[in-house]
A = this chain, B = another copy of it.
Amino acid sequence: EDKGRLLVSCPDQPGIVSAVSAFLFEHGANIIESNQYTTDPEGGRFFLRIEFDCAGIREKKSSLQAAFASVAEKFDMTWSLTLASELKRVAIFVSKELHCLHELIWEWQTGNLMAEIAVVISNHEEARELVERLNIPFHYMKANKDIRAEVEKKQLELLEQYDVDVIVLARYMQILTPDFVSAHPNRIINIHHSFLPAFIGANPYKRAYERGVKLIGATSHYVTNDLDEGPIIEQDIERVDHRDNAEALKNIGRTIERSVLARAVKWHLEDRVIVHENKTIVFN
């Protein structure tokens, strides 16, 4: 199809929408969906996402980009122009618990996650059968604290080899080093099994049980070097009560983890998430 997406971020000032929409009109693009946000109409930062139809966009992409550069320069824009038909290549990291991987694959098969699943990497063998049955490459890579640097080096090579655009930690349960994280800024999506910033770190369900909360949550966020402190993309909760022990919370939580991660990945794949100062703007 001929769908394109223009993402823009720049200092807010009058005339931006006018300039961008005039550009699209002049180049034969019809706006399908448009979202904008400004942190402050007076001197804030302006964000714009436009989805448009443009006949023959695949051929015209680079000429469009070249032409837009002068608009962008005038307004000091950070921008990108992507094609919906150029699917992002996803690597999924997974551990022994497969519910998030299952959901991603299910949504991908249903056509809700428009992506190429380029590779699945795991420090366990549990996912192999499911993954290889779908003809997706599966790589087992042992992982623990002691061999982290070495393993990550191999993982980075693998990601390069598979030409990966986005990394999804679908309950991978390993901490990544700053080297790894900085190699993929705002492109590593994690699911944390708590309503952040509550229960940062290990064993959130156990701690939620001990605190006696009446709701448990899950949070999908971009990974930064501060553990569980990266920009939040999506969160959701489920009601629990005094009868639910830590094991029950874990069980109930799986359903939220699945849907929260799937939504976050979907929005990222559709270029709906913009990171700004450790927060996300989600145009959904």
Q: CB distance B112 to A102 under 8 Å? A: no
CB closest residue in chain B, given A215 = B235
Residues B110 and A242 in contact, CB atoms below 8 Å apart: no
A106 interface residue (CB < 8 Å to B): yes
Contact with B along A30-41 (1 / 0, CB 8 A): 111110111001
Interface of A is mostly: mixed
Q: Mark A249-264, 1 if CB is under 8 A from B, else 0.
A: 0010011000100000
> Is A119 close to B, CB under 8 A?
no
* A215/B217 in contact, CB under 8 A: yes
Of residues 31 through 61 on chain A, the ones whose CB sits less than 8 Å from some CB of chain B are: 31-34, 36-38, 41, 53
- Minimum Cβ distance to chain B for residue A120 (Å): 18
Within 8 Å CB of A242, what residues of B? 37, 279-282
CA distance A282 to B102 in the complex (A): 30
**Residues of B contacting A14 in the complex (Cβ-Cβ under 8 angstroms):** 25, 28-31
1/0 contact string of A182-205 vs chain B (CB within 8 Å) = 000000000000011111000000
**A31 touching B17, Cβ below 8 Å:** yes
Asked if residues B212 and A278 are in contact (CB atoms below 8 Å), the reply is yes
Residues of chain B within 8 A of A241, CB atoms compared: 282
Cα-based distance from A212 to B232 in the complex (angstroms): 6
Within the complex, what minimum Cβ distance (angstroms) separates A277 from chain B?
9
Q: Report the bound CA distance from A21 to B19 in whole Å.
A: 8
A243 within 8 A of B: yes
- Residues of chain B lying within 8 A (CB to CB) of residue A212: 231-232, 278-280
Chain B residue contacts of A254, Cβ below 8 A: 110
- A211 contacts chain B at the CB level, 8 A cutoff: yes
Pull 29 A–B residue pairs with CB atoms less than 8 Å apart, ordered by A. Answer: A14-B28, A14-B29, A14-B30, A14-B31, A15-B25, A17-B21, A18-B18, A18-B24, A18-B25, A30-B41, A34-B34, A34-B36, A37-B242, A195-B198, A195-B217, A196-B211, A196-B213, A197-B199, A212-B231, A212-B278, A212-B279, A212-B280, A213-B235, A214-B233, A214-B234, A214-B235, A215-B217, A215-B235, A215-B236
